Chains A and B, each alone.
Chain A
Amino acid sequence: MYALTEEGIKYLKHGLPEKRLIELLKENNGLLMRDATKELGGEFAIALQWCKKYKCITVTDGKLALAGDMPRETKHQESALKEIAAGREPDPDVLQILIQRKLVEKESEGIVKQAEKFVGKEITNLNTELIKTGMWRKVKLRPYNVEAHGKKIYIGKQQPYNRFLRSVRRKLVEMGFQEMKGPTVELEFWNFDALFQPQNHPSRDWTQTYSLKSPKEGTLPEKVLVEKVKATHENGWTTGSIGWGYKWDPAKAARLMPRAHGTALSARTLANGPTIPGRYFAVSRCYRPDIIDMTHGVEFNQTEGIVIDESLNFKNLLGVLKEFAVEFANAEKVKFLSDYYPFTEPSVQMSAKHPQLGWVELGGAGIFREELTKPLGVDVPVIAWGLGIDRLAMFKLGINDIRNLFSQNLDWLRKQVIV
């Protein structure tokens, strides 16, 4: 509610200054400003300002002359003053002007009246009037069933598997790892050849990979690099190896495929001149033609990376894995098993004793072969590692079907606890 200010009450009684000036001139056109001031006192300045605005008077040589009728605005403002005095709401636009003119203000005395209505009663909700006037002391708040649970609301939330992966990324960054980037659609060159996987050998079947129908073929990187990789496959080049001993085919290396493992990113990183010492990682989406079941989704994320330094050896390889076991699985105990990857030697697989899951295959690692690192321009040892992160994610999210990491169930997503 609104109420008239003192000034407002005065104008309600005597009329707005501009109205009084106009009426004065109606009787006495050509009045001197000096005389008008005598008549209207302090209100003359206000009156003049508004009349000028409405362009209903002119001033020449200190003489005031009427130039139009009583403005509509003036009439509206006066009737609005009456409305307010009668306790009614006037037109909001006019009200705004009156508030600006400080003729009207929000009712403060009215609050008391409002509040008084509640006195002695039992109320459901507290309100501004009761709080401001202190009359809350004279009302009783109706007791609620405070033990009832609130109405369900659904909040904005991160997808739980994404949340988990974000925490993995954060942890790896804390451990000094830089994130690597690379394309989803990859040349066989980076997915296989640069990793010293021969073009016609079961190891290339071992990864069981897709190829592309369209587009089919890409462009190989610069010739110098391609020649080194070719020579290494064919005869070992200068890597100290005898090589695979076959004719390497650039056309096969130029074929396109969806990335089958994150190691393709490591190969690109090594070829791009990495920082030494360096730690790199990637959580990368990978694609293999697996039969889709509880343990194989349409696609999957691989978490893997490399550690590069002149000083690294097999003891460090075990150290890297053990550190992961502690950081990611809270495992104190680990077991190392021999393993095979075409691009690392020696290769190790690690089982870690998870406090709840027991022994789990947590990851594998190896030292990249010279046949891989040297053609890419890296002459120091490179430890490559991979982590079985999805197993831990499934445990953390309480699911036993890997496909649910990409859950399409909104109800399930809404109910997921944030862990």
Chain B
Amino acid sequence: MPKIDVSQKDLCNLIGRKLSAEQLGDEVLFAKAELDEANGDALKIDVKDTNRPDLWSAEGVAREIRAKYKPGMLKYDVRKSSFVVNVEKSVEAVRPYTACAVVKGLKINDTVMSQLLQLQEKVAGTFGRNRREVAIGVYDLSRIKFPITYKAISPEGIKFIPLDYKDKMTPKEILEKHPKGKEFGHLLAGKSMYPIFIDFEGEVLSVPPIINSDHSGKVTEKTTDIFIECSGFDKKFLYTALNVLVAAMHERGGIIYGVKVVYGKNSSITPDLTPKKFRVSVDYINKVSGLDLNVKDVIKLLEKSLYGATIKGKNIELSYPAYRQDLMHERDVVEDVLIAYGFNKIESVIPKLITKGGVSKEQYFVQNVSDIMIGTGFQEILSYTLTNVENIFQKMETKGEAVELEKPMSANWSVFRAWLLPGILEFLSKNKHVEYPHSVFEVGNTILRDNSSTRAKDVTKLAAAVSATTVNYETISSYLDALLKNLGIEYILRKNTHPSFAEGRSAEIVSGGKQLGIIGEIHPAVLNNWTLEKPVVAFEIDLEEVFELLRKK
């Protein structure tokens, strides 16, 4: 799902091979990705896995492809250091945790810069749920004096120059005025204290998850050493995000240093890049894949997917890079094995199963109803099930309660239709210039409120209408008669009044003591509401009721 922009040259350099766009198109499949576009050096890659942020950058894609040529687990060295971040208790109520790292010796050019920014944005955006779960700050290490403190302060308790600004502002002012403050301010809404990273000399690093300071929060091509922090609510998320970032920087020659994060009496060194452990059985892999692989084959394929693998009885002990957090079940390893094997090298076998096909009796019945209507010369139409209150109630001079969407894309499509006739009239109103007479019908789903577990039920209905210079009740009642007689339904028409129909020109359709629907001449007021200029006669019936009558017979 995440789409990333990469440079072909850069990608090839990272892989260590010169590959054409076409070749890359095949290779990116190993990274569960697809090459969407190749425009000169600029490639657009669609990475499918929303659960693998480690693949959302040129570095990550390249690492996965390179493993096919140089298989085996990658080891990451986290060097010891004296960098310390003290976390004060005050952040507990706002944004309680952080995970930090220092990376030195980076060679940053334009391409590297844009890749790092893109990765940071994708990780905080998609994986970090628009900074809610994970906010990321990257800083120029040379501008920071350790130890750093992570604490909460009052929104007006400090002033500093935010990134890309000239004047000092309080965090409160940033939320009100700075574009990033406006975009992400809702994440701090209602908080009496805001979180802040501040260094030993009192220089502000950032107000997460909003904005970095101009002082240290700017990374340029001259920067070689950086400090990174991730903040949020769940250490598991933060560690994954941090590991993804430092592993990508490692691809750019960065040397990773640990940072001691202190919570009162407890402390831990981040990042923790110790390989994670998992176990799979060859039998399970063969069962799921349908292949007949032996242990050696499996280990080879696993190494092509960056696993470290050792045999332990009938099982394989796995170690895998700490930037991955997607392994929940043996099944997840099977897919990696199959991708390394190559989907297109696997024989496809149509399952030989004897099963009985069919559609429901209701479905056959509904098709019969359509066939009869078509036989009487009506054109079938198809409308959306979403509509609006004005159409289904106001224009029809009726009232009612429909199933309603929260935050519809458009007010035009904000409720589900409770009956079909409004859709028919809407259709007629759009075709006034088309040769008359118009005889149209729709068989479709309506959604009505009820007391079931979903508080709504689907009811299939039929509506049909004729519009022409001269039509009347008799026109439509003979079509209704043709329909019901051909279905073998005896019925009576009982005079009624309905606000959508002209007085004295409408009736209920009744059979077996049940009301099946309504028939009549559309009220001229309703015609006016739809700006229709010729008379319309119509009926609508509940096909579920009709089906029920036929079932009882």
List residues of chain A with CB under 8 Å of any chain B CB: 154-159, 161-162, 166, 169, 172-179, 181, 183-187, 200, 202-203, 205-206, 210-215, 217-221, 236, 239-245, 256, 258, 275, 277-279, 285, 287, 289-292, 297-299, 307, 309, 311-316, 318-323, 335-340, 342, 345-349, 367, 369-371, 381, 383, 405-411, 413-414
Q: Is the CB of B351 within 8 A of A320?
A: yes
Q: A213 is contacted by which of B332, B405, B431 (Cβ under 8 Å)?
A: B405
Q: Taking the complex as formed, is B447 at the interface, i.e. its CB lies under 8 A from any CB of chain A?
A: yes
Q: B1 is contacted by which of A162, A183, A244, A340 (Cβ under 8 Å)?
A: A340
Q: Taking the complex as formed, is B508 at the interface, i.e. its CB lies under 8 A from any CB of chain A?
A: no
Q: A299-B386, A346-B335 are in contact. List 13 more A-B contacts (CB 8 A).
A: A162-B380, A174-B357, A178-B359, A183-B452, A202-B1, A210-B408, A212-B405, A213-B406, A245-B236, A287-B386, A316-B349, A370-B331, A414-B434
Total A-B pairs, Cβ < 8 A: 280
Q: B421 CB to closest chain A CB, in angstroms?
A: 15
Q: B351 is contacted by which of A184, A309, A410 (Cβ under 8 Å)?
A: A309
Q: Give the residue name and chain of the A residue nearest to B352 (CB).
A: A311
Q: Is the CB of B50 within 8 A of A203?
A: yes
Provide the bound-state CA to CA distance between A69 and B232, in Å.
114
Q: Can you name 14 A-B pairs with beta carbons within 8 Å?
A: A155-B377, A178-B359, A186-B454, A211-B405, A221-B453, A239-B329, A258-B416, A289-B409, A313-B287, A314-B334, A314-B338, A320-B351, A340-B1, A383-B351
Among B101-109, B170-178, B367-375, the stretch that binds chain A is B367-375
By a CB distance below 8 angstroms, the chain B residues around A183 are 452, 454, 456-458
Q: Give the residue name and chain of the A residue nearest to B448 (CB).
A: A185
By a CB distance below 8 angstroms, the chain B residues around A221 are 453
By a CB distance below 8 angstroms, the chain A residues around B431 are 408-411
Q: Is the CB of B48 within 8 A of A340?
A: yes
Q: A336 is contacted by which of B343, B351, B353, B378 (Cβ under 8 Å)?
A: B343
Contacts known (A316-B351, A410-B379); A345 close to B453, Cβ less than 8 A: no
Provide the bound-state CA to CA distance between A169 and B455, in Å.
29
Most buried by A among B335, B344, B445, B457: B335
Q: B409 is contacted by which of A176, A240, A290, A409 (Cβ under 8 Å)?
A: A290
Q: Is the CB of B427 within 8 A of A408?
A: yes
Q: B416 is contacted by which of A156, A184, A338, A367 (Cβ under 8 Å)?
A: A184
Q: Is the CB of B382 within 8 A of A275?
A: no
Q: Which of B107-141 contact A (CB under 8 A)?
A: 126-127, 129, 133
Q: Is the CB of A179 within 8 A of B434?
A: no
Q: Taking the complex as formed, is B328 at the interface, i.e. its CB lies under 8 A from any CB of chain A?
A: yes
Q: Taking the complex as formed, is B496 at the interface, i.e. its CB lies under 8 A from any CB of chain A?
A: no
Q: A285 CB to closest chain B CB, in angstroms?
A: 6
Contacts known (A156-B379, A277-B354); A210 close to B407, Cβ less than 8 A: yes
Q: B439 is contacted by which of A156, A239, A338, A405 (Cβ under 8 Å)?
A: A156
Q: Is the CB of A319 within 8 A of B127?
A: no
Q: Give the residue name and chain of the A residue nearest to B451 (CB).
A: A219
List residues of chain B with CB under 8 Å of any chain A CB: 1, 29-30, 32-34, 48-51, 126-127, 129, 133, 236, 287-291, 328-332, 334-335, 338-339, 343-344, 346-351, 353-360, 363, 367, 370, 373-386, 401, 403-410, 413, 416, 426-427, 430-431, 434-435, 438-440, 445, 447, 449, 452-458
Q: B53 CB to closest chain A CB, in angstroms?
A: 9
Q: Is the CB of B126 within 8 A of A202?
A: yes
By a CB distance below 8 angstroms, the chain A residues around B376 are 156
Q: Is the CB of B329 within 8 A of A175?
A: no
Q: B379 CB to closest chain A CB, in angstroms?
A: 6
Q: Is the CB of B403 within 8 A of A336?
A: no
By a CB distance below 8 angstroms, the chain A residues around B456 are 183-185, 215, 256
By a CB distance below 8 angstroms, the chain A residues around B409 are 289-292
Q: B357 is contacted by which of A175, A203, A315 (Cβ under 8 Å)?
A: A175
Q: Is the CB of B329 within 8 A of A240?
A: yes
By a CB distance below 8 angstroms, the chain A residues around B426 are 408
Q: Is the CB of B355 within 8 A of A157?
A: no
By a CB distance below 8 angstroms, the chain A residues around B367 are 166
Contacts known (A179-B359, A181-B360); A336 close to B344, Cβ less than 8 A: yes
By a CB distance below 8 angstroms, the chain B residues around A323 are 350
Provide the bound-state CA to CA distance between A158 and B407, in Å.
34
Q: Is the CB of B346 within 8 A of A158?
A: no
By a CB distance below 8 angstroms, the chain A residues around B236 are 245
By a CB distance below 8 angstroms, the chain B residues around A245 are 236
Q: Is the CB of B350 within 8 A of A322?
A: yes
Q: B268 CB to closest chain A CB, in angstroms?
A: 19
Q: Is the CB of B440 within 8 A of A236?
A: no
Q: A260 CB to closest chain B CB, in angstroms?
A: 12
Q: B61 CB to closest chain A CB, in angstroms?
A: 12
By a CB distance below 8 angstroms, the chain A residues around B427 are 408, 410
Provide the bound-state CA to CA distance between A200 and B291, in Å.
36
By a CB distance below 8 angstroms, the chain A residues around B30 are 338
Q: Is the CB of B335 within 8 A of A347?
A: yes
Provide the bound-state CA to CA distance between A53 and B95, in Å.
107
Provide the bound-state CA to CA distance between A411 and B379, in Å.
11
Q: Give the residue name and chain of the A residue nearest to B413 (CB).
A: A298
Q: Give the residue name and chain of the A residue nearest to B446 (CB).
A: A184
Provide the bound-state CA to CA distance between A206 and B34, in Å.
17
Q: B330 CB to closest chain A CB, in angstroms?
A: 6
By a CB distance below 8 angstroms, the chain A residues around B357 are 172-178, 279
Q: Is the CB of A338 within 8 A of B32?
A: yes
By a CB distance below 8 angstroms, the chain A residues around B360 are 179, 181
By a CB distance below 8 angstroms, the chain B residues around A186 are 454
Provide the bound-state CA to CA distance between A319 and B352, in Å.
10
Q: Is the CB of A214 within 8 A of B403?
A: yes
Q: B86 CB to closest chain A CB, in angstroms?
A: 28
Q: Give the residue name and chain of the A residue nearest to B31 (CB).
A: A338
Q: Is the CB of B329 within 8 A of A158?
A: no
Q: A319 is contacted by which of B49, B133, B351, B354 (Cβ under 8 Å)?
A: B351
Closest 8 CB pairs between A and B? A313-B290, A318-B348, A315-B290, A215-B455, A346-B335, A173-B357, A185-B456, A336-B343
Contacts known (A316-B349, A367-B288); A219 close to B453, Cβ less than 8 A: yes
Q: Is the CB of A156 within 8 A of B351?
A: no
Contacts known (A184-B447, A203-B51, A346-B335); A215 close to B403, Cβ less than 8 A: yes
Q: Give the residue name and chain of the A residue nearest to B126 (CB).
A: A202
Provide the bound-state CA to CA distance between A275 and B355, in Å.
9
By a CB distance below 8 angstroms, the chain A residues around B363 are 169, 179
Contacts known (A299-B385, A313-B288, A340-B48); A156 close to B358, Cβ less than 8 A: no
Q: Is the CB of A337 within 8 A of B434?
A: no
Q: Is the CB of B288 within 8 A of A410?
A: no
Most buried by A among B287, B430, B445, B456: B456
Q: B405 is contacted by which of A210, A320, A338 (Cβ under 8 Å)?
A: A210
